[in-house]
Copies of this chain bind each other. A is one copy, B any other.
Amino acid sequence: MDHGRNRRPTVADVARMAGVSVATAGRALGGYGYVGEQTRERVEAASRELGYSPNVVARSMRSGSTRSIGFVGSDIADPYFAEAMRGICDVAHREGYETILTNSDERLDLEQLAVRTLLDKQVEGLVVAPSSMTHVDHLKDAKEQGVPVVLLDRDLPQLDFDSVVADNETAAYAAISHLLDLGHERIGLLASVSASEQPEIRAGTDGSWAVLGADRPSVERIRGYLQALADRRAPVTTEAITLIAADRVGGADAAARALLSSAWQPTAVFATDNESTRRIFLAVKAEGIKVPEHLSLLGFDDTDWTVMVDPPLSVVAQSPLAMGRMAGERLFSRIKGDRQPKRRIVQPTRLIIRASTAVWPGPDW
């Protein structure tokens, strides 16, 4: 009965049924050009009868427009990217576009593959949270093909792409200033960093410090940390800074614990991303350290749980949803033909002070 697979009806099918030419049927269905009143009705009846609906692939082929964009992030299961994706999708939906999602797991090879595939699929724009600051040729390909790219979370100064980033350095500066204001002198820092492109922290001859490495969020945040300390003439030591290579999940907890139990004895810890915030909090609980009496804790990203834990966590909050939306807006502006110079959109963060940061030394010390 139904051999040959239930094929979707085409304009030709509708035309045949309505007794008109494909051209006429097309005009009636697409709503362009002139069509006689009763002809239109017959075509529409046939269309309804057959359950016709246009084949978008064929349309894309003809028009060159696929009405789809791509998102390349490291992991959709990460709440930051999940929210950002939501923001992007919302804007895309408003514009009548669909969003294709890919995960790079911070791996350059997967990201390159994803971009290539998306480009081959003829997406009309790309939002990318790049995993590498130096290997960017695959992104240039997009540009060469006239496909606009908006960078999310990380800027690539050497490329001519819009970017939406948080005010990382300022945020970290404010965070550390807050801790200094509270009287802290030994402020540790915990950061997740790329395994392949780890920043290097170096002391200058004049006692100043510098972070070597491209401007990823983690690097900018470390820079803000150092700057805040320097401006207050607070001492800096390498012991204060613990870097977690993002791919070696196993070592993360050990690293967090090592920071806590180091001989240097930090009185406060600033975690520069949601993952290290989670890690340090868990480590603190495991070690039975009292917060904020014995240690102040300041995290990054205002995830679900920051208000549920005890004590409620002070954090630097950014809004991934807003950043995703912003990225979407920029992208569609480009898709629609905006040819202005690249824009680096810096999304403000908020320092939310809850109960995990307190005056040092505390009254009972």
Task: List residues of chain A with CB under 8 Å of any chain B CB.
Answer: 5-6, 8, 51, 53-58, 60-61, 66, 68, 75-77, 79, 82-83, 85-86, 89-90, 93, 98-103, 116-122, 141, 144-146, 278, 281-282, 285, 303-305, 307-310, 321
Chain B contacts for A8, CB-based, 8 A = 145
Q: Which residue of B lies closest to A8 (CB)?
A: B145
Identical chains bound together, number: 2
User: B282 near A308 (CB under 8 angstroms)?
Assistant: yes
User: A310 near B307 (CB under 8 angstroms)?
Assistant: no
Nearest Cβ in chain B — how far from A59, in angstroms?
9
Q: Which of B102, B120, B281 contacts A55 (CB 8 A)?
A: B120
User: B76 near A82 (CB under 8 angstroms)?
Assistant: yes
User: A117 near B144 (CB under 8 angstroms)?
Assistant: no
User: A308 near B278 (CB under 8 angstroms)?
Assistant: yes
Q: Which of A55, A76, A281, A321 has the most CB of B within 10 A?
A: A76
Chain B contacts for A90, CB-based, 8 A = 103
A153–B90 Cα distance when bound, in Å, is 23
Nearest Cβ in chain B — how far from A291, in angstroms?
11
List of 4 A-B pairs having minimum Cβ-Cβ separation, nearest first: A305-B305, A82-B82, A77-B86, A310-B310
Q: Which of B51, B121, B282 contacts A57 (CB 8 A)?
A: B121
Nearest Cβ in chain B — how far from A190, in angstroms?
16
Chain B contacts for A56, CB-based, 8 A = 120-122
Q: Which of B68, B144, B305, B307 contacts A51 (CB 8 A)?
A: B144
Chain B contacts for A82, CB-based, 8 A = 76-77, 79, 82
Q: List 14 A-B contacts (CB under 8 A).
A: A51-B144, A57-B61, A57-B122, A76-B82, A76-B89, A77-B85, A77-B86, A82-B82, A89-B101, A98-B102, A281-B308, A282-B308, A305-B308, A308-B308
A292–B276 Cα distance when bound, in Å, is 29
A118–B68 Cα distance when bound, in Å, is 11
Chain B contacts for A309, CB-based, 8 A = 305, 308-310
Chain B contacts for A285, CB-based, 8 A = 308
Nearest Cβ in chain B — how far from A166, in angstroms?
18
Q: Which residue of B lies closest to A141 (CB)?
A: B51
A68–B66 Cα distance when bound, in Å, is 13
A281–B58 Cα distance when bound, in Å, is 52
Q: Which of B5, B101, B305, B310 contacts A99 (CB 8 A)?
A: B101
Chain B contacts for A304, CB-based, 8 A = 79, 278, 303-305
Known contacts A77-B79, A79-B82, A98-B100, then 16 further A-B pairs from the complex at CB < 8 Å, ordered by chain A residue: A6-B144, A53-B120, A55-B122, A56-B122, A58-B61, A76-B89, A77-B82, A79-B79, A85-B101, A89-B102, A93-B102, A98-B118, A285-B308, A303-B304, A303-B305, A304-B304
